[in-house]
Amino acid sequence: MMRVELRAVTKAFGRQCLFDDVNFGAVAGEVVAVCGKSGSGKSTLLRTINRIESVDAGDIRIDGESVLHGSIDLANLRSRVGMVLQSAPLFSHLSAVENIAMPLRRVRGLSRREAVERAEDALDEVGLAQRAVALPHTLSGGERQRVAVARSMALEPSVLLLDEPTSALDWHLRDEVGALIRSVADKGVTVFMVTHDCDFADRVADRVAVLSRAALHEVSRCDCSGAALLRRVRDLICCDAPRPAALAPRVSL
Amino acid sequence: MTLHYDFDWSILAQAQYVHWLAAGLGWTLLIGVLAMVGSLLVGALLATLQALPGIVGATGRAWGQMARNIPCLFWLLLFYAGVPALFGSNGIPWDLSLLQFGFACAVGALLIDNTTYVADALLDGIRAVSRDERQAALACGLSERQTVVECVLPQAVRFAMPALLNRSVHVIKNTALCMAIGVPEMMWAAQQIESITFRGIEATLVVSGIYLTLGWGLASLTRRIGGTRGAQEAFR
């Protein structure tokens, strides 16, 4: 059974149609990447899954249950569907361990001691046990990303949504985050990420899709991989973008 | 150029004058603290009103403009002279002594004068909390109320701290206006000493030194207890 299922999902902002009739799904333990150029609507698509954004038409199901019912408990849904927003915002007044412990206390109802213990375990799993008391502004980009993933994972979600997990990270930190995503999926969590980093998507995801011209095109690994897959993704992304003029050389030799 | 004034600081060591200055300091602090605490409460209410739509929000904004643009001295004189006029021939209402009534007018006037600035500081503090952090709190499963209590307010208060501290220094300084209605605060004490001894420069310099120390002390205290990047950067 599909863990996450999007059926004929449609969304527009005014006259601008972001995506139309999107059908997509992912099973447990699968990493799915949606690529697309900036402003294509991929982050909005991701936010519809945990109802941060509404949809105009269609249905979204988690474990077969529609999340669009008016009666659904949003807090419960969002604790089952973890999300790491772009730039991994942490609560800047709380230390790394408190960032993880606070939602555990407020959403899961754990005592302060239990929450801190579980938060320390979550930090340990992402290799940041020694940074537990550090405030967010003292953490590097990669560390912040890992704390944000640990914060979502501590709530034991069945689905993890990642919005541009590698934006503003260098190649070394990108590899760290990529390994972390794979380890999360190995625990049976469905990871749904959006990124404009096609190379990263190719290396980390089981399946890659491209959001272009309001439609979602799946680029299956069975058809192609490596350079061929990247070429196809780029073709789809660039098909509606004007080709930039060649840059003139800055230095004549 | 020679100085044609012989400073005589010894005059200020007389018990009567030390007592006036110490009591004046007490009144200054009491009026300042009560006006600041009161304006925090009323300012929070005003900020809430201003954020609301419709006639309620418009009323809040009108109140804010009125409090901001009318001088503090006006409020002092209005309360001190206007309230007795409203309450008939007896003059002072609620069986208060003249000193108690002057004190109540002083706190009320400084409170009203300060309210708009406190409301602005609190609203700016709330606006300064990153939208991404609010969304992250919601995405973790926190309710709207929990997001405000756990994520927005603790940060908003810290962001507002430098501006609120600034206002508390202003309130302390504005207590000097209360001598106009006979409240025996520090400036009143300095004027009394001057009128008896003709040593106004010494008395005023001592009082200025106390105001300076109070303002400096408030800045240091906030730096110590605030412990926030915003507050530290503001006073670095």
Dump pLDDT digits (tens) for A2-44: 788 899 889 988 888 888 888 888 898 999 999 888 888 889 9
Q: Is A99 inside a domain boundary? A: no
B140 contacts on A by Cβ (under 8 Å) = 78-79, 82, 103, 107, 151-152, 155
Q: Is B177 inside a domain boundary? A: yes
Q: Is B39 inside a domain boundary? A: yes
Nearest CB to B135; choose among A52, A92, A93: A52
Residue of A nearest to B130 (CA): A89
Residue B40 to chain A, least CA–CA distance (Å): 22
Residue of A nearest to B146 (CA): A106
Choose, out of B133, B140, B143, B158, the residue to mutate when testing the contact with A (most A CBs < 10 Å).
B140
d(CA A153, CA A119): 10
Please give the average per-residue pLDDT across B127-156, as a whole number: 89
Residue of B nearest to A138 (CA): B229
Dump pLDDT digits (tens) for A42-94: 899 999 998 888 889 989 998 888 888 878 888 888 888 989 988 889 999 99
Lowest mean pLDDT among A137-141, A224-228, B35-39: A224-228
Partner-chain contact A89 B135, CB within 8 Å:
yes
Distances (CA, A) of A22 to A5, A55, A211: 10, 11, 9
d(CA B142, CA B134): 10
d(CA B176, CA A60): 65
Q: Is A23 inside a domain boundary? A: yes
The residue segments making up the domain with residue A27 are 4-89+159-238
d(CA B193, CA B18): 10
Q: List the CATH number of the domain containing B116.
A: 1.10.3720.10
Residue B152 to chain A, least CA–CA distance (Å): 9
Task: Give me the count of residues in chain B.
Answer: 236
Counted domains in chain B:
1
Instruction: Give me the percent of chain A exceeding a pLDDT of 70.
Output: 88
Residue B47 backbone dihedrals phi, psi, to 5 degrees? -60, -40
Q: Is A248 inside a domain boundary? A: no
- Put simply, the chain A residues between 36 and 95 with a CB less than 8 A from any chain B CB are 50, 52, 75-79, 82-83, 85-87, 89-93
B137 contacts on A by Cβ (under 8 Å) = 91, 103
- Put simply, the chain A residues between 232 and 251 with a CB less than 8 A from any chain B CB are none
Q: At residue B28, does pLDDT exceed 90?
A: yes
A107 contacts on B by Cβ (under 8 Å) = 140-142
Partner-chain contact A92 B155, CB within 8 Å:
yes
Q: Which amino acid is at B144?
A: E
Helix (H, G, I), strand (E, B) or coil at A84: strand
B67 vs A230, which has greater pLDDT? B67
**pLDDT number for residue B47:** 87
A133 contacts on B by Cβ (under 8 Å) = none
| Pairing label, strands A159-163, A81-84 | parallel
- Put simply, the chain B residues between 157 and 216 with a CB less than 8 A from any chain A CB are 158
Q: Is B97 inside a domain boundary? A: yes
**pLDDT number for residue B145:** 87
Q: Is A211 inside a domain boundary? A: yes
d(CA A113, CA A128): 19
**pLDDT number for residue A224:** 57
Model ipTM?
A: 0.81
Interface A-B, measured as beta-carbon pairs within 8 A, has a size of 63
**A219 beta partners:** A208
Q: Is B140 inside a domain boundary? A: yes
Q: Residue A142: pLDDT band by 50, 70, 90 thresholds?
A: confident
Mean pLDDT of chain A: 84
Q: Residue A239: pLDDT band by 50, 70, 90 thresholds?
A: low
**Whole-prediction pTM value?**
0.72
Q: Is A121 inside a domain boundary? A: no
Partner-chain contact A93 B137, CB within 8 Å:
no
Q: Is A25 inside a domain boundary? A: yes
Please give the average per-residue pLDDT across B124-142, as a whole number: 90
Q: Is B102 inside a domain boundary? A: yes
Q: Is A152 inside a domain boundary? A: no
B138 contacts on A by Cβ (under 8 Å) = 52, 78
Q: At residue A241, does pLDDT exceed 70?
A: no
The residue segments making up the domain with residue B229 are 18-235
Lowest mean pLDDT among A197-206, B103-112, B216-225: B216-225
Q: At residue A253, does pLDDT exceed 80?
A: no
**pLDDT number for residue A119:** 94
Q: Residue B233: pLDDT band by 50, 70, 90 thresholds?
A: very low
A90 contacts on B by Cβ (under 8 Å) = 133, 136
| Pairing label, strands A65-66, A57-62 | antiparallel
Q: At residue A101, does pLDDT exceed 90?
A: yes
Residue A83 to chain B, least CA–CA distance (Å): 6
**pLDDT number for residue B88:** 64
Dump pLDDT digits (tens) for A87-100: 889 999 999 999 99
Instruction: Give the H or E element holding residue A13.
Output: strand A4-13
Q: At residue A114, does pLDDT exceed 80?
A: yes
Q: Is B128 inside a domain boundary? A: yes
Please give the average per-residue pLDDT across B135-159, as a whole number: 89
Instruction: Give the H or E element holding residue B186.
Output: helix B186-197
Q: List the CATH number of the domain containing A66.
A: 3.40.50.300
Q: Residue A221: pLDDT band by 50, 70, 90 thresholds?
A: low
**pLDDT number for residue A251:** 57
Partner-chain contact A91 B151, CB within 8 Å:
yes
Counted domains in chain A:
1
